[in-house]
Chains A and B, each alone.
Chain A
Amino acid sequence: AQSVAQPEDQVNVAEGNPLTVKCTYSVSGNPYLFWYVQYPNRGLQFLLKYITGDNLVKGSYGFEAEFNKSQTSFHLKKPSALVSDSALYFCAVRLTSGTYKYIFGTGTRLKVLA
């Protein structure tokens, strides 16, 4: 079955420290990869995506993500975390055939401590 895994339910990091939120996927073909963030009582906001090209993609609010094809991973990173980054982060893949549906991970709660 095709799936997206976010192995950590929660990540805690001190403000100013680098952060990493992990994502791996098991999907046939070459899917497109996405990160979304969700704040309380809000919908999901698009952060960044990987389609093709450079394995390091940059997105909104200083976030970036590194694509690793051999490890089928797409980890989200930020060099210096802010308290305001505290939120729920979702990794998603979009199939590139058939229905072109999206498959989401279960989410990782990021808590940045002052």
Chain B
Amino acid sequence: EAGVAQSPRYKIIEKRQSVAFWCNPISGHATLYWYQQILGQGPKLLIQFQNNGVVDDSQLPKDRFSAERLKGVDSTLKIQPAKLEDSAVYLCASSLDPTRFGATQYFGPGTRLTVL
């Protein structure tokens, strides 16, 4: 079974530029998550999709971050404009419907973003 795919793996940009990350979840997984992991911290949920609908985006900085999951499969996360404090690893994860008993979340390799 193929895992969660993410690209690019690394990205370096200057502040005020824009950047986009792509994620393809495990086939059949209805739920997709985007996390931000700052060095030395645990992952922080940015947005959670159920199929192509947003379940939770309470911690997404909506003035600069946006995400979409068209057709309920792959997803993109965009930052525009980037700030220095956005330097982090952006992790995508997917799971079966979490209302199903015991559904486990699986992670992609992440995208390391450096904002100069």
Contacts and interface: CB of A to CB of B under 8 A. Distances in A.
B98 interface: yes
A101 B42 contact: no
B22 to A, nearest CB: 15
Interface residues of A, number: 22
B102 interface: yes
Given A99-B55, A106-B41, A43 B4 contact: yes
A49 B109 CA distance: 21
B56 A101 contact: yes
Interface in B42-56: 42-45, 48, 55-56
Contact of B107 (A43, A99, A101, A107): A43
Nearest to A95: B98
B17 interface: no
A46 B107 CA distance: 8
B52 to A, nearest CB: 16
A51 B56 contact: no
Query: How many B residues are at the interface, by size bracket?
Result: 20 to 34
Nearest to A105: B42
A112 B53 CA distance: 43
Contacts, number: 55
B101 to A, nearest CB: 7
Contacts of A51: 101-102
B72 interface: no
A105 B106 CA distance: 17
Given A90-B43, A104-B43, A43 B102 contact: no
Contacts of B102: 32, 49, 51
26 contacts: A4-B42, A34-B105, A36-B107, A41-B109, A41-B112, A42-B109, A42-B110, A43-B4, A43-B93, A43-B108, A43-B110, A44-B93, A46-B104, A46-B105, A46-B106, A51-B102, A90-B42, A94-B105, A99-B48, A99-B56, A100-B55, A101-B45, A101-B48, A101-B56, A104-B42, A104-B44
